[in-house]
Amino acid sequence: MKPLFLDEYELSASMPLRALEKLDGAGVCVYDVQKTAPGKLKFCAKSKESKKIFAILRGSCYTVNKRRSVGLKRLLQKLVRRPGAIAAVLAVCLLAAAANVFVLRVEVDGSVRYASQTQEILQEEGLSLFSAYSAENAERARARLMRLSGVAFVTLEKQGCVLRVTFQESEETPVPEREKQLLAPCGGVLQELTVLRGVPLAKEGEEVSAGQELAACAEGESFAVARAILLCEGVYTYECADAQDVKARAVAKAVFLCGGTPVGYEVALTGSGGEFICTVRLQYLLRLSVNFGENE
Amino acid sequence: MRLSEESFAALGINADVAAGGAKVVVYAGVCACFENVKGIVRLSAEEVVLRAGRGEVCVHGKNLRVARYGLGDLWLSGAVSQVEISEESH
């Protein structure tokens, strides 16, 4: 293999090939020997043997001149004459290396529903956009992401300046959340309230309004077990053209619509000719419960 | 080749010294390698004459160039078409 650092020489003599024998005898290896003109030779030799070559051929009938550097030595000499180019290349390399340290983009794979939570957790652990990447912070963030519900496994990898978060969701059906409170769907009088687990928030005989909390889960618990019976009153109207059995039909409609057990009713009929309006004031019992069926 | 090397090794002598002549290896169309070269007698793109330990080697071809010469070894690049070995000087 040719050495990397070579110099080119020009040899002039009446018998220039004899000079090569002298150099060979002194252990100097020459490369790319070419005859350029009668009595003239061009060859290359190792740069570090330059002094040796001149010493061997000094005082003889050979004229030797070093013309230029060849190979890697020539390239290095060109580069040294262009310090700006070297500085620019070094600056680009440093910039590329430094940019690799920062997180310039975050990608979430595997599941999009964790995207917002992922961004929050990464920000809290110091891995937000344009922040420096740290393996310790990444491990802490990964531990927090693993605790999200429905997540089986999470990986955090830095690929260049992109932080890739990959989720593996659990294939098991999540346990449904149990109700924590018993609400009154409509206004009425609370006839009965039974709370097996939780705290009662209304008394029997109390008049309650729609949406009022009747019972709630106790502090530190995740669900309540309660049932209640409300005595409610509703007004329903029934329109028809035929007065025959209109009251019965109106009451039937009211019972169907109330959704509870009828207790009593009052019916009023108005109208004449082909238009009758039957108004039914229905009292009914409404049974409510939360998580009660699992404990019976 | 192996038999001759084993024979020289058994006799305890260097094969090149025992032979005395040039050793030529030709890679057709690519280059040629010579050992035991004492000097270059003639050099041109079509003809190269080398002085070996005993006699001379004359190489004919195209685009011949001495790629490396030193310590008795010479690499000739180019398309070597003919090699003549003689025990007489030119």
What is the pLDDT averaged over residues A34-40? Answer: 88
* B42 at interface of A, judged by CB pairs closer than 8 A: yes
Q: What confidence score (pLDDT) does residue A15 get?
A: 86
CB atoms closer than 10 angstroms to residue B38? 16
Contacts of A13 in chain B (CB under 8 A): none
- d(Cα A97, Cα A60) in Å, to the nearest integer? 57
**Residue A181 token pair:** 């409170």
pLDDT in tens, B13-71: 555 555 566 788 888 888 899 988 888 998 988 999 998 877 889 999 998 999 999 88
In sequence order, the 6+-apart residues with CB closer than 8 A to the CB of A282 are: A233, A234, A235, A236, A251, A254, A255, A258, A262, A264, A265
Which residues neighbour B63 within 8 Å (Cβ) at sequence distance 6 or greater? B45, B77, B78, B79
* Measured distance between the N- and C-terminal CA atoms of chain B, rounded to whole angstroms: 30
Which of A4-13, A99-108, A179-188, B13-22 has the lowest average pLDDT? B13-22
Check residue A283 and give its pLDDT. 93
Domain that holds residue A212: 179-296
Q: Would you list the DSSP string of chain B?
A: -HHHHHHHHHHT--HHHHH-S-EEEEETTTEEEEESEEEEEEE-SSEEEEEESSSEEEEEEEEEEEEEEETTEEEEEEEEEEEEEESS--
- Torsions phi, psi of A185, nearest 5? -75, -25
More confident residue, A242 or A15: A15
Contacts of A21 in chain B (CB under 8 A): 38-40
- Whether residues A114 and A205 share a domain: the answer is no
Burial (CB < 10 A; 0-12, 13-18, 19+), residue A171, is exposed
User: With an 8 Å Cβ cutoff, are A17 and B71 in contact?
Assistant: no
Which two structure tokens, joined as six digits, stand for B69? Answer: 């010469």
* Chain A residue whose CA is closest to B49: A17
Average pLDDT, chain A: 86
Higher pLDDT, A149 or A139: A139
Q: In this prediction, what percent of chain A has a pLDDT beyond 90?
A: 26
Nearest to A24 among B41, B65, B69 (CB): B69
- Give the total number of structural domains in chain A: 3
Question: Is 60 exceeded by the pLDDT of residue A85?
Answer: yes
Q: Would you state the structure tokens that stand for residue B30, as one six-digit string?
A: 């690519």
**Min Cα separation B89/chain A (Å):** 15
In this prediction, residues A23-38 reach a mean pLDDT of: 90
> In the prediction, which pLDDT does A184 show?
92
Query: Closest Cα of chain A to B10: distance in Å?
Result: 30
Is the pLDDT confidence value at B6 over 60? yes
* Shared-domain flag, residues A95 and A159: yes
pLDDT of residue A278: 87
Where residue A126 sits, what CATH number does that domain have?
3.10.20.310
Same domain, A296 and A187: yes
The answer on A165 and A144 residing in a single domain is yes
Cross-strand partners of A278 = A238, A269
- Nearest by CB: A20 against B40, B65, B71: B40
Beta strands A225-240 and A275-290, pairing class: antiparallel
Residue A218 and residue A286 in one domain = yes
CATH of the domain at A33: 3.30.70.120
Order across the sheet with A105-109: list the strands. A105-109, A162-169, A151-159
For residue A25, give how far its alpha carbon lies from the nearest alpha carbon of chain B (Å).
7
Q: Which of A21, A28, A40 should one mutate to test binding to chain B, selecting the residue with the greatest count of B CBs within 10 A?
A: A21
Are A37 and A122 in the same domain? no
Residue A191, pLDDT score: 93
| Amino acid at the residue A192 | E
The verdict on A112 and A152 lying in the same domain is: yes
Instruction: Say yes or no: A18 and A67 in one domain.
Output: yes
CA dihedral A261, A267, A273, A274 (to 10 degrees): -10
Which of A119, A154, A173 finishes a domain? A173
- A29 and A123, same domain (yes or no): no
- For residues A233 and A204, membership in a common domain is answered with yes
Q: Are the C-beta atoms of residues B31 and B20 closer than 8 Å to each other? A: no
Indicate whether A49 and A102 sit together in one domain. Answer: no
Instruction: Reply yes or no on whether the pLDDT at A295 is more than 50.
Output: no
pTM score over 0.80: no
The predicted structure's pLDDT at residue A176: 64
- pLDDT confidence of residue A117: 85
Considering the domain architecture, whether residues A185 and A293 belong to the same structural domain is answered as: yes
Rounded CA separation B21/B16 (Å): 7
Rounded Cα distance between B75 and B41, Å, is: 15
Which of B41, B65, B70 lies nearest to residue A17, judging by beta carbons?
A: B41
Closest-CA distance, B26 to chain A, in angstroms, reads 18
Closest CA to A155 of A123, A116, A111, A192: A111
Summarize pLDDT for A220-234 with one digit per residue, the tens: 888 888 999 999 999
Residue A110 gets the label, from left (phi > 0), alpha (psi -120 to 50) or beta, of left
Q: Is the pLDDT of residue B11 over 70?
A: no
Looking at residue B19, what is its pLDDT? 57
Q: Which member of A17, A29, A35 has the closest CB to residue B68? A: A29
User: Of A53, A76, A99, which closes a domain?
Assistant: A76
pLDDT of residue A95: 83
B43 contacts A35? CB cut-off 8 A:
yes
Which one, of B59, B42, B57, B43, lies nearest residue B87 by Cα?
A: B57
Residues A140-168 have a mean pLDDT of: 87
Tell how strand A105-109 and strand A162-169 pair up.
parallel
Cα–Cα distance measured from residue B90 to residue B24, given in angstroms and rounded to the nearest whole number: 19
CA dihedral sign of residues B85, A38, B74, B13: positive
State the number of CA atoms in the 13 A half-sphere of A212 facing the CB.
Answer: 17
Task: Give the tens place of pLDDT for each residue, A93-115.
Answer: 888 777 778 888 888 888 777 88
| Average confidence (pLDDT) over A50-68 | 87
Q: Percentage of chain A with pLDDT > 70?
A: 97
- Domain end marker among A76, A110, A130: A76
